[in-house]
Each structure stands twice: as structure tokens, then as C-alpha cells.
Structure 1
Amino acid sequence: MMRLLENKVCIITGTAQGIGKAIAERFAEDGAIVYACDRIDCGMDAWAKACTIKFQTRVQPVCLDVTDSVAVKDVFMTIYRTEGKIDVLVNNAGVVINRKIGMILRQETELMFKVNVIAVLELIQLVARLMGRNRSGAIINIASITAVAGSSGQVAYSASKGAVISLTKSASKELASLGIRVNAVAPGIIKTERFVELYEANGEQIDTRIRKIALGRLGTPEDVADACSFLASDRASYISGQILGVDGCASV
């Protein structure tokens, strides 16, 4: 049986842990050729080798800072020359800094917009030129429930992810003529390593957040990965410009 992403060349950013790592593993399991990008190593070579053996496909770790436009261009062009195509880009790399109004620091806001918005836009610009040569491609941006519903204490972060939603909708219209689909996934409360660290540090009980989720549990990175795999696949060939909530029907 053909796997969902069989032989699709996929670039995923922010794969060292959490949601990005789960997306890379799901794509590998679904048969994709995965270029797993992150600015830190975190033992990614051993992880990629294990994925390659387990899922019988290729997983290639790439050390990449998404804000370095020169390095990004070099990596993308190398992948395109090697594979002859780029089928999927998942813009997952991001920065989260939570501050209440009055405590927001400009340099932190600038960092979030640099990584969460400007880098995403630049990666889309570059990959669209390459995908356009083959008249096909899928781009998936990782947004957030906070961009849709708002969240106290996350004003600047919510604004950056709101920008991701806007650029997703506009890019989908502009790139449709090239056969390129652009969608976003908006995760809700996902139990990543960082989530647990933040709530333990703040002394907040995770149960208080679960009570705000209609489906009665925290999301997992795998929940988000499954949504991304579907949007990357040919089964979603008529879906573009959409923001898919993966939030368990939550109120933030």
C-alpha cells in the first residue's frame, strides 16, 4: 500500500523537539524524504539515523537558522539540486515569549516577529520559486489558537501568529496559479516539553487548562503532526487558504 507521503521531498523547520520533531517523524513514517532543520544539533544525527532505519526512508538533519537568509537559500538550493524537487515546506520554527501588557519588551517582540513572521515569509518566497518550476507544492505554516481566540499574557506572541494566518490566506491566493497550496495549522494547548516546563515553573496546575478543553485532554505533538501530514498529502489537493484548528475545541 502506498504511504500517504511516499517519496515526497519535505523540509520541516524547528525539528529538534516537540511539535517539529513529531511532524518529522510522522512524515518519515508516511514515506516522505525528510530534511529536518533546526538551529541546534541536540543529537539529531542519531535521531535521524534511527528514523531512517525504522521508517525505511531518508531523514536528513540540517543545521539551519531560519533567520539567516543566505544560509536558507543555500540549503534550499542544495536540496532542490539533489532531489530535483521540493514538495512540502512546514514552517514550524518559532519563538514564544509570554508577557502581559506593560511588561512587553521591544527586543522580545522583534525577535518573535523576526522568527515567526519574517522568516516564514522569506522561506515561502524562496520555496515558491522552486516549487513553481514543478507546478506543485504544499506549504504548511504553524499558527496558534491564540491568534484566533486571543490569550491574556500573550499579546505580542498572538500578534505574530495572527500575522502568520494573514500571510497564509494571502499567499494561498497568490500561489494557487503555480499549483502551490498554502494552509496553516493552529494548535491549541499541546503537551510539549516546553509546555510542561513553563507550567511547572509558574506553579500552575495543568488540570486547570484541561477543564477549558471540550475533548477533555491536552493535545499531543502527534495530533498536530497528523494534521500536517494530511495537508501535505495529495488527499488535500483541493484544500488551500485554510486555518485548521487542532485544539480539542478549547477556549484559551
Structure 2
Amino acid sequence: MTGARLAGKTAIVTGAARGIGRAYALRLAKLGADVVIADLNLQGAARIGEELGAESVMAEIEALGCRSIGVQGDLRNPEAVAGLVAETMAAFGRIDILVNNAGVAVARGSGTLSTDTTPEAFDYLIAANLKSTQMCCAAVAPVMKQQKSGVIVNISSQTGISLLEHGNLAIYGAAKAGVAYLTRTLAAELGPDGIRVNAIAPGIIETARLKKLDPSMGVGTPEQLNAIALRRFGQTEDMANVLEFLATDLSGYVSGQVISACGGAVLHPN
């Protein structure tokens, strides 16, 4: 472990079977937390060719000396959200950290511009990104209130702060802008109960999934690289570094903030 700042804590990370979510989960475990891996597909890494250090993310966490369970389900559904919280409480008896990472940028059978988005795709993108986040926050709030402590870290996006070229990923960006606003409202609501709520707005991150995207989607282009002040796309560990700050007492007086972790692609106030 890199340290024991989170020893004795229990964290839920949604969308954690691969990519950035996996990096969040592993970092929390390295800090001493037991981690619940929630995902639509707990074998998601294999689908995109992402190599794990064990047979599953849960096994990776256990190899770090922490406990872990996996909970598979579609967090657009209230029943799945309730089940996630119930399984976490049954296994660990507490919830100290929630990382709302689950989400999706595109919908099959639909364009990515606002005027090209089908009604079905609109509903899907809002539910997968914004509704699921709100429901997970609402589900853990009673537990954290009883504990008089807790940390919620929502995952917004650079796209929720600043437009991509030509308005690409329009509804995804609208949903992630909603996540940023929701974060601020939750900070105001839950702060009196000792619960801090913040968000990370990642820029373009070089995940295994990104490398497999169709170039026609317009994500990860040379033009976007040149627009980044640091002239590199992000790595999953860059995002885990920000999470470490927000999930530990290093940020004990920080709440209601959206941290743009984009290498300087966004250089204006949130």
C-alpha cells in the first residue's frame, strides 16, 4: 500500500471493472480502503483487451491486502442501485466513499450532435450519466448521514464544461454539466451532516477503450492534443491522483467543487 489514509474505510466505485474506474478503485485500495466494484459487466476489461494484474479487479484489490466484492447491475434502474447499497452494507457495514464513475458517451443508432440525437439515445445518455449519479448519491446519503461523515466524488467531464469541436457529444456533455450542478447542490444539502461532495471533470484520457474508438467520433484527435497546454492526453493515474486528494483528509475543507483535470485544455473558470 502507498499509505493507510483510508484504512478501515469502505468505498463504492461505479463503472470500475476497467479503465478510469479501475484506476480509482485500485488507488483507494492502495490507500487502505475496502472497495466495492460496481459495473454493468464485471468482465468489461476483457471485452476491450485491457490487461489486469489478476483474474478480476476484485482480485487485484485483494492482492493489495484489502477486501473487495463485485456487484453487477445496470445503475439506471432503482432496484440495481438499492441492491448495490444493500450488498455493500451486508458485506462491510458502512459506506465512507462513493465514486460515481459509471457513464457512457455515445448511444448506438444515434448521432453525437444535438440535432442528430434520437429521443431514445437522449433518454439513455441522461439516464446512464446523470440519473444514475443522482440515484446512487440519494441511496448512500442515509448511511453517510447516520455516520455523520462521508465523501462523494462524482465524475463530470471536460465536455460538461467546454464544448468539443462542432458541438460533438452534445447530450453527454449536457448530462455531465448536470452532474457538475448536482454536485454543488448535494454539497449544500449534505454538508451539515459532515458529508463532502466534489467532482472531477476529466479531459481526454488514454484508456484501452479510447484507443479502440472509431476516429469518426472525433475524440483523441491531433487537433485536440495540440489544444492541451501540457501537450499530452491524460492517463488513468492522473485521474487517480485527483481522486486521492478528494477522497482523503487532504481535501477536508473542500466541498462543492468541480476540478477540471484536463492538462490545461480548459483555461477558464468552471
Could you tell me the TM-score, scaled by structure 2's length? Answer: 0.86
Match of 1:217 among 210, 232, 235: 232
| Residue of structure 2 in register with 1:31 after alignment | 32
SS in 2 for 1:67: coil
| Residue identity matched to 1:195 | L
Give deviations 1:126-161, integer Å, cap 9, x for gaps: 100111110000000000011111222122111100
| Residue of structure 2 in register with 1:76 after alignment | 85
Alignment of 1:22 onto 2:35: no
Alignment of 1:103 onto 2:104: no
CA change 1:8–1:80 in 2 (3 A) is: same
CA change 1:74–1:100 in 2 (3 A) is: closer
Higher RCO structure, 1 or 2 (CA under 8 Å, sep 6+) = 1
SS in 2 for 1:216: coil
Give deviations 1:56-91, integer Å, cap 9, x for gaps: 111222212111211321221232243221000000
| Residue of structure 1 in register with 2:68 after alignment | 59
Match of 2:200 among 175, 185, 193: 185
Give deviations 1:31-69, integer Å, cap 9, x for gaps: 110001101131788223541343111122221211121
| Residue identity matched to 2:18 | Q
Could you tell me the TM-score, scaled by structure 1's length? Answer: 0.92
| Residue of structure 2 in register with 1:134 after alignment | 147
| Residue of structure 1 in register with 2:100 after alignment | 91
Amino-acid identity (%):
34
Q: CA deviation at 1:110?
A: 0.7
- How far, CA to CA, are the matches of 1:174 and 1:205 in structure 2? 37
CA change 1:65–1:205 in 2 (3 A) is: closer
CA change 1:180–1:220 in 2 (3 A) is: same
Give unmatched runs, 5+ long, in structure 1. Answer: none
| Residue identity matched to 2:93 | G
| Residue identity matched to 1:95 | V
Please say if residues 80 and 130 of structure 1, whose CA atoms lie closer than 8 Å, have aligned partners that are also in contact.
no
**Larger displacement relative to structure 2 (49-58 or 239-248):** 49-58
Aligned length: 252
SS in 2 for 1:78: helix
Please say if residues 260 and 266 of structure 2, whose CA atoms lie closer than 8 Å, have aligned partners that are also in contact.
no
Please say if residues 131 and 137 of structure 1, whose CA atoms lie closer than 8 Å, have aligned partners that are also in contact.
yes
- How far, CA to CA, are the matches of 2:206 and 2:60 in structure 1? 22
Please say if residues 11 and 90 of structure 1, whose CA atoms lie closer than 8 Å, have aligned partners that are also in contact.
yes
- How far, CA to CA, are the matches of 1:114 and 1:125 in structure 2? 15
SS in 2 for 1:181: strand
| Residue of structure 2 in register with 1:12 after alignment | 13
Give unmatched runs, 5+ long, in structure 2. Answer: 46-53
Q: CA deviation at 1:246?
A: 0.6
- How far, CA to CA, are the matches of 2:34 and 2:183 in structure 1? 24
CA change 1:147–1:87 in 2 (3 A) is: same
Please say if residues 161 and 177 of structure 2, whose CA atoms lie closer than 8 Å, have aligned partners that are also in contact.
yes
Please say if residues 199 and 206 of structure 1, whose CA atoms lie closer than 8 Å, have aligned partners that are also in contact.
no
Give deviations 1:102-130, integer Å, cap 9, x for gaps: 31111111101111111111111110011
| Residue of structure 1 in register with 2:212 after alignment | 197
**How do residues 103-252 of structure 1 correspond to structure 2 at under 5 angstroms?**
103-151=116-164, 152-200=167-215, 206-251=221-266
| Residue identity matched to 1:194 | R
CA change 1:245–1:50 in 2 (3 A) is: same
| Residue identity matched to 1:181 | R
